[in-house]
Amino acid sequence: MTTITVCDTCNYAPGQKMLDDKTGGEILAGHVERLAAEKGIEVRRVSCLMGCERHCNVAIQEAGKLTYVLGKFTPDAEAAAAIIEYAERHGESETGQVPFKQWPQGVKGHFVARVPSV
């Protein structure tokens, strides 16, 4: 099963940790969790993925597949929808690799790393 790992301690934006007493990561995690529940995608929160120089980092993972780390999201419903859509394509892919033409617009420019499975 594809899992979206969301860092819940990430900044809201460059140089801005919080908005309305919540970190950017908490806000993004809330949006992702709401949408993922409808799709049967697992979401977990962690505190720090060590990508702190960027705001709003997430990882998309499944055992035996490539892991993708993405960041620099504006923590809103639109970004969450793009992350969810990408996670769905990742789940459908045998290797985790998603052809560029299937990438949702909202993930383009947000990739940080691709990690081979062990």
DSSP class of residue 109 equals T
> Which of 37, 52 has the CB closer to ligand FES?
52
For residue 49, give both structure tokens.
């993925």
52 is a site residue for ligand FES (CB under 6 A): yes
CA-to-CA distance for 58 and 110, rounded, in angstroms? 10
Torsion 30-31-37-43 (CA) sign: negative
CB of 53 to ligand FES, least distance (A): 8
Residues binding ligand FES: number (CB under 6 A):
10
Q: Give the footprint of ligand FES on this chain (CB under 6 A).
A: 7, 9-10, 25, 48-52, 57
